Chain A
Amino acid sequence: MTVPTNIDLPPKTRGLTAIAGAMSLIAVLLIVQIWLLSAALESFLAGKHHTALPAAIFSGLMFLVCFGLYLFVDRVDADVRHSDEDRQR
Chain B
Amino acid sequence: MNWLRRSSSEPLWKEEFSVRTADERYVTRRQLTKFLVLTSFGMFVGNLWILVRSMLSKAPSYPQQTVARLGEIPVGGVKLFTYPTKDDHCILVRTSENEHVSYSQKCTHLSCAVYYSQEDNRLECPCHKGFFSVADGSVLQGPPSRPLPKIILESRGGELVAVDIKTS
Measured CB to CB, the residues of A under 8 A from B are 12, 15-16, 19-20, 22-23, 26-27, 29-30, 33-34, 36-37, 40-42, 44, 46-47, 49, 52-53, 55-56, 59-60, 62-63, 66-67, 69-71, 73-75, 77-78, 80-82, 85
Nearest to A26 among chain B residues (CB) is B36
**B30 and A53 within 8 A (CB):** no
What distance in Å separates the Cβ of B4 from its nearest Cβ neighbour in chain A?
9
Q: Is the interface of B mostly helix, strand, loop or mixed?
A: helix
What distance in Å separates the Cβ of A38 from its nearest Cβ neighbour in chain B?
9
Residues of chain B from 26 to 49 with CB closer than 8 A to chain A in the complex:
26, 29-30, 32-34, 36-37, 39-41, 43-44, 46-48
Q: Which of A19, A55, A69, A74 contacts B50 (CB 8 A)?
A: A55
Q: Known interface pairs A19-B30, A37-B46. Does A26 touch B37 (Cβ–Cβ under 8 Å)?
A: yes
Per-residue CB proximity of B84-105 to A under 8 Å, as 1/0? 0000000000000000000000
Give the chain A neighbours of B40 by CB distance below 8 A.
26, 29-30, 33, 62-63, 66-67
A52 to B9, CA, bound (A): 46
Give the chain B neighbours of A29 by CB distance below 8 A.
40
Q: Which of A41, A63, A78 contacts B41 (CB 8 A)?
A: A63
Q: Is the interface of A mostly helix, strand, loop or mixed?
A: helix
- 4 smallest CB-CB distances across A and B, nearest first, come from A33-B43, A78-B7, A49-B54, A52-B54
Q: Known interface pairs A34-B43, A46-B167, A85-B8. Does A53 touch B51 (Cβ–Cβ under 8 Å)?
A: yes
**Could you say which of A16, A62, A66 has the most chain B C-beta atoms within 10 Å of its C-beta?**
A66
Residues of chain B from 52 to 66 with CB closer than 8 A to chain A in the complex:
53-55, 57
Measured as residues with beta carbon below 8 angstroms from the partner, the interface class of chain B is 20 to 34
**A37 and B47 within 8 A (CB):** yes
**A15 and B26 within 8 A (CB):** yes
**B33 and A22 within 8 A (CB):** yes
Nearest to A58 among chain B residues (CB) is B47
What distance in Å separates the Cβ of A74 from its nearest Cβ neighbour in chain B?
7
B3 at the interface (CB under 8 A from A): yes
Q: Known interface pairs A71-B3, A74-B3, A85-B9. Does A56 touch B36 (Cβ–Cβ under 8 Å)?
A: no
**A37 and B43 within 8 A (CB):** yes
A44 to B80, CA, bound (A): 28
